[in-house]
Amino acid sequence: MNEDQITIVDEQGNEQLCQILFSFPSEEFNKSYVLYYPIGEEEDENGEILVHASAFIPSENDEESEGELMPIETEEEWDLVEEMYNTFVEEKNAEEE
């Protein structure tokens, strides 16, 4: 994973280049999280793009291109990610005004 983009591999082995919105650590869950969306994905009828979120564990050797994405497993984790996303959107909207 580099600073701006990440490559996601689905169950069929297809690779999708994604733009990273932001990532953040959580001491509560002892994990980091990353929010991203596929590059080139079409906006929906409301002009929005579906944002994905995953837990992220960086590689031990600290190389930018390595690490492991994992599904977010608990409601508590989803609540945290949603809260962070909402804060991110509010701050972006405030910057644009």
Looking at residue 10, what is its pLDDT?
81
Residue pLDDT, tens place only, 9-68: 888 999 999 999 999 999 999 999 999 999 987 777 777 888 999 998 776 665 555 678
Which residues are CB-contacts of 55 (< 8 A; sequence separation ≥ 6)? Answer: 29, 31, 32, 33, 69, 70, 71, 72, 73, 77
CB 54 within 8 A of CB 70: yes
Considering only CA atoms, which of 76, 86, 69, 79 is closest in space to residue 32? 69
**Residue 22, number of CB atoms within 10 A of its CB:** 13
- Per domain, the residue ranges of the chain are 5-96
pLDDT of residue 64: 52
Q: What is the mean pLDDT of residues 57-81?
A: 80
Put residue 67 in one of left, alpha, beta given phi > 0 → left and psi -120 to 50 → alpha. left
